Amino acid sequence: MLVAWFRPSPGYAHFSMRRMQSLCVLILLVAALTTTATAQTKFAHTSGTKLVTASGEPILLRGINVGNWLEPEGYMFHLDEGPQAPHEIEDLTRELIGPEKADAFWHSWRFTGRRTSNLR
């Protein structure tokens, strides 16, 4: 039946554009529905307004972003008119206290003072 529906009308040498578009939409719709049904049975997914596991149990995600703790920015050092980007601030630190002390400072900045106890 699909072949008969897609067969060109008499007098036309090729398929009509409308029929070609309809067939493409049909194929994409079937593929999308099949993929969605398969994904929901194997992975975490939404159920209404909740995020649930493959077996339907609710998932509660918790997390924090510590990215800004690791990147120095101008406002942290009150450098209103001075360097703002991390590399500019690190260069200024090297210039002011020397490379060895600057390296020790940035090591301390990145690897101490950020403990689990700070997040409670």
Residue that the structure tokens 């990215």 belong to: 67
pLDDT tens per residue, range 57-82: 999 888 877 766 778 888 888 988 88
- Among residues of the chain, what percentage have pLDDT more than 90? 22
Q: Is 89 exposed, middle or buried (0-12, 13-18, 19+ CB in 10 A)?
A: buried
pTM for the complete prediction?
A: 0.43
Structure tokens at 115: 């403990």
Structure tokens at 75: 């406002």
